[in-house]
Amino acid sequence: MSLDHLLDEEQLALVEGVRDFAQQVIAPVAAQHDREETFPYEIIAQMGEMGLFGLPIPEQYGGQGGDYFTLCLVLEEVAKVDQSVAITLEAGVSLGMMPLVKFGTDEQKQQWLPDLSDAKTLAAFGLTEPGAGSDAGGTQTRAILDDGMWTINGNKEFITNSGTDITAMVTVTAVTGPDEISTIIVPTDTPGFTAEPAYDKVGWNASDTHPLTLTDVQVPETNLLGERGRGFANFLDILDEGRVAIAALATGAAQGCVDEAVAYAKTRTSFGRPIGDNQGISFKIARMQARAYAARAAYYAAAKKLVAGKPFKTEAAIAKMVASEAAMDNARDATQVFGGYGFMNESLVARHYRDSKILEIGEGTTEVQLMLIARSLGL
């Protein structure tokens, strides 16, 4: 059951190609990267060569000139088999490149986007801090402008793609004046910029996540990204788009759990017959499919409004909440269908069980999405 009738021939061909790549190239090494907590450089390089990182990036800056909806379709397919690879793509594009696309100068775009679009380099977005998560307005990082140079001091937490061997830059939010937050590009080779040791995470073990320390980091005034003082508004804009992408990723995780559960229920026998013949199992999987379908419909609706240039904040919040809950619920139910095998870390459903919880937290918690939806109702 799908919504393929809403896709054009070019999108269908891309989805099929990425699905084959995910199944044949990503899936066979996913468990090893997860177990060893290693970053899949070879996979990312191939995805860069396929143009997946450059999908929504204008052609004049090395991208494919596609749209954000097409990126979401790709994220869904990748996340079916490996959420770590999917979040590397999602964060690299929506958090790493889109701030440059939307708010950067032509010079900044020419400098950074071509290599980022090919995944020769990665970019990250330094927003969250030890005391500023959902309340990003509580940013404590400071940037002082003097004699044409910004001097930045502060700490960032939970920053995806921030410490790989190919990470080239991090856009950081910083207080630049009274009640003023701005965004500034910091190349990772700048003295004083430190990616601290990687986190020991519950899931997404093959993705790259670090705390960052910025100690007297100095970058040129021209590294300001967008207008001074517009950082808060700009990153809210970026997060709205990112929530649609996360919803697509979560939908892929939810559907991946369905696919695994169906295959297992057809082949695993108990008491002389496939376990899928039992109504208790078949109904559980039917509910899983309904959740995945609803999540897909929600992110399609949000993404369609996004690319049409229409307001989509509420739709993004609904899609993010519905899809992340579908991923978590489906991971739990798939693990139950698999029984003891579902509790083994090498199984895909076990990885989805560990990976999916963060989908209800990152890029806006479920509670934040509920707040946004309630506000849209005038509450």
> pLDDT for 133-147, tens place per residue?
767 678 999 999 999
pLDDT for residue 1: 56
Q: Count Cβ atoms below 10 Å from residue 35 Cβ, excluding itself.
A: 13
Q: Is 263 exposed, middle or buried (0-12, 13-18, 19+ CB in 10 A)?
A: exposed
What does the alpha-carbon distance between residue 75 and residue 96 come to, in Å, rounded to a whole number? Answer: 15
Given a cut of 60, whether residue 25 has pLDDT beyond it is yes
Given a cut of 70, whether residue 374 has pLDDT beyond it is yes
Q: Where are the beta strands (DSSP E) in the chain?
A: 122-126, 142-146, 149-160, 167-177, 180-187, 193-195, 209-220, 224-225, 269-270, 273-274
pLDDT for residue 7: 83
HSE at residue 41, side-chain half, CA atoms within 13 A, is 8
**What domains can you pick out in the chain, each with its CATH number?**
4-122 (1.10.540.10), 123-229 (2.40.110.10), 232-376 (1.20.140.10)
CB of 139 closer than 8 Å to CB of 184: no
Per-residue pLDDT tens digits for 66-81: 999 999 999 999 999 9
pLDDT band at 131 (very low <50, low <70, confident <90, very high): confident
Given a cut of 90, whether residue 356 has pLDDT beyond it is yes
Model pTM score: 0.95
Average pLDDT over residues 179-203: 96
Three-state DSSP class for residue 101: helix
Angle at 79 between CA 78 and CA 84, to 5 degrees: 100
Q: b/e map of 211-234 (b: 16 or more CB within 10 Å)?
A: bbebeebebeeebbbbebebbbeb
pLDDT for residue 358: 97
Selecting among 10, 90, 363, 367, the annotated active-site residue is 363
- Long-range contacts of range 190-194, CB-CB < 8 Å, 24 or more positions apart? 190/217, 190/218, 190/219, 191/217, 191/218, 192/152, 192/216, 192/217, 192/218, 193/217
pLDDT for residue 133: 72
363 is catalytic: yes
CB of 256 closer than 8 Å to CB of 81: yes
Per-residue pLDDT tens digits for 310-325: 999 999 999 999 999 9
